[in-house]
A and B are shown apart, each in its own frame.
Chain A
Amino acid sequence: MIDTNVWLSRWPFRRLPLDETPRLIESLRQRGVTQAWAGSFDMLLHRDISSVNARLAEECRHSEGFLIPFGAINPALPGWKEDLRRCAEQHGMRGLRLTPNYHRYELSDPRFIELLDYAAEQRLIVQMALRMEDDRTQHPLVAVPDVNPAPLLKLVADRPALRVMIVNGLRTLSGEPLAKLALTGRVWFEISMQEGAAGLESLQKLVPLERIAFGTYAPFFVPESALLKLKESELAEGQRAAIESSNALALWNDR
């Protein structure tokens, strides 16, 4: 299984049972995960993003290929293009992870659009988190609204080389906006926040199977949540394999 939504380091507001990387890796491996796409919680509030990415790259290097680093970019910070260059050239990262709401920019922001252009040109996968936490449970000092994904549809449509994966998005996106984004064929969705009884059956009414990927949002979420979703919905063997790994693999290779 490929877990497309894993985070290293510390959640800023409490300790999590699996927030030590060796324990996280061990736990995911025990549950059948063979590769995990990892970002760093440090990107949310730290301003020295260069060192966040250096630590992320270093931890992933020591994981014997289990962790794949997705570098943090904050286009609202001075010098963000140098972070981008380092991610691609110095650390050899092939994907980026963005948290526009914590970094306080809209998806219509010219800096974000410039970032997408670069990612498309360099064939980098862009993972974008629409939320990190239910806004009802956030610490009152850090009340961060969900990202408004509306501008993304045109941005993706205008950039045929762009590949985007929405992480933590399926409580924010639903119905027609979700279906339209999925129809572009260049946006993938991981399942950690998909809810509802037999939720993966419902999701497939809006999103083509090929665009759905396995993601746990560990260690913030209990990894079993995503695993059990594969059991709760009626999935043929091929559907299950597609969600567990082959869709993510296809995205990884489609660059």
Chain B
Amino acid sequence: MIWDLHCHLSGVDGRTPAERMARLIEIADRMGIERLVVFMGYPFLTDPTADQLRSQNDQVLQALEHWHDRAFGFAYVSPNHVETSLAEIDRCVANGPMVGIKLWVARRCADEAIDAIIRRAAELKAVIFQHTWFKTIGNLPGESTPDDLVALIARHPDVPIICGHTGGEWEQGIRAIRHLPNVSIDTGGSDPTAGFVEMALRELGPERILYGSDAGGRSFSSQLAKVTGADIPEPARRLILGQNLRRMMLPILREKGIRA
């Protein structure tokens, strides 16, 4: 069972969200991926306006329309637009089909402006995905590092949160969050450098590692290979490829009556 935590409509051919989603599923099928989590529309917007957040979520809702048996959606929200983000969580998650939220690079997650968004998502048992990178060449002004995530977690010690990209530079990313049992890592969106999943397993255990690809910008291949090519026990591989994500999503899926 392979569930992909991290997919986008950007970087995939198609004139409409529906066409892009169909293409994404077609390629995922070749790789044996059963379920995809999709978030953000196109083009990528690093600091979207309130209207743009709504519009990007509309694209994802359109993409999901015919694929509820194969795909889940996370609502794109931003601490630069808290009221809109809370309304989008209500529209897309509480009253819509989405099951999580995506926080990208508009404002660092250490900033307390994000707290209302985290609290509302947690109330709904929505999955929370926070992008993080430790970039040698310097982060974007609003781009969180795993250290920012640690600061966020200090204020929300019981909320499960996903450390997107494991900070990109995963040797530091894993070290930054390893003491926080409520933080899981997303393996997607970086080069398929050898040793990543082996180190993650050693430091975090098998249940805090989630396979994600960051397709269509990334290939499913390079990202799956990090897990399928890792020198790890088979039960751990199965957890990472899908069982962990399913377990993490089950509370909200049950609330919504979604069987998976």
Q: Which A residues are within 8 Å of any B CB, using their own CB?
A: 14-18, 133-140, 143, 193-199, 218-229, 231-232, 234
Question: Do residues B195 and A14 form an inter-chain contact, with CB atoms below 8 A?
Answer: yes
Question: Do residues A222 and B27 form an inter-chain contact, with CB atoms below 8 A?
Answer: no
Interface residues of B in 148-200 (CB under 8 A from A): 168-169, 171, 190-195, 198
What DSSP secondary structure best describes chain B's contact surface?
loop
CB-defined contacts of B221 to chain A, threshold 8 Å? 199, 224-229, 231-232
CB-defined contacts of B190 to chain A, threshold 8 Å? 134, 137
Question: Do residues A221 and B192 form an inter-chain contact, with CB atoms below 8 A?
Answer: yes
Question: Do residues A228 and B225 form an inter-chain contact, with CB atoms below 8 A?
Answer: yes
Query: What band does the interface of chain B fall in when counting residues whose beta carbon is under 8 Å from A?
Result: 35 or more
Question: Do residues B191 and A197 form an inter-chain contact, with CB atoms below 8 A?
Answer: no
- Report how far A194 CA is from B216 CA in the complex, Å: 12
Question: Do residues B194 and A229 form an inter-chain contact, with CB atoms below 8 A?
Answer: no
Question: Do residues A196 and B135 form an inter-chain contact, with CB atoms below 8 A?
Answer: no
Interface residue? B62 (CB, 8 A) = no
Q: Please tell me which stretch of B52-60, B94-102, B115-123, B227-235 contacts chain A, meaning at least 4 of its Cβ atoms lie within 8 angstroms of it.
A: B227-235
By Cβ-Cβ distance, the 4 closest A-B pairs, closest first, are A228-B221, A224-B229, A222-B229, A224-B225
CB-defined contacts of B215 to chain A, threshold 8 Å? 196-197
Question: Do residues B195 and A196 form an inter-chain contact, with CB atoms below 8 A?
Answer: no
CB-defined contacts of A17 to chain B, threshold 8 Å? 194-195, 198, 231
Question: Do residues B218 and A196 form an inter-chain contact, with CB atoms below 8 A?
Answer: yes
Known A-B contacts A17-B198, A137-B190, A224-B228; A195 and B136 likewise in contact (beta carbons under 8 Å): no
Question: Do residues A135 and B220 form an inter-chain contact, with CB atoms below 8 A?
Answer: no
- What would 4 more interface pairs be, CB under 8 Å, given A17-B195, A196-B217, A227-B225? A135-B136, A136-B136, A193-B191, A228-B31
- Of B23, B136, B218, B225, the residue contacting A138 (CB under 8 A) is B136
Question: Do residues A137 and B27 form an inter-chain contact, with CB atoms below 8 A?
Answer: no
- Of B24, B137, B225, the residue contacting A136 (CB under 8 A) is B137
Interface residues of B in 223-260 (CB under 8 A from A): 224-226, 228-231
- Closest residue of chain B to A202, judged by CB? B13
CB-defined contacts of A220 to chain B, threshold 8 Å? 193-194
Known A-B contacts A196-B217, A222-B229, A231-B31; A16 and B195 likewise in contact (beta carbons under 8 Å): yes
CB-defined contacts of B31 to chain A, threshold 8 Å? 228, 231-232
Most chain A CB neighbours (cut-off 10 Å) among B221, B225, B231:
B221
CB-defined contacts of B76 to chain A, threshold 8 Å? none
Question: Do residues B169 and A196 form an inter-chain contact, with CB atoms below 8 A?
Answer: no
CB-defined contacts of A194 to chain B, threshold 8 Å? 219
- Report how far A18 CA is from B229 CA in the complex, Å: 11
CB-defined contacts of B228 to chain A, threshold 8 Å? 224, 228
Interface residue? B48 (CB, 8 A) = no
Q: Give chain A nearest CB distance to B168 CB in angstroms.
A: 6
Question: Do residues B231 and A228 form an inter-chain contact, with CB atoms below 8 A?
Answer: no
Interface residues of B in 26-50 (CB under 8 A from A): 27, 30-31
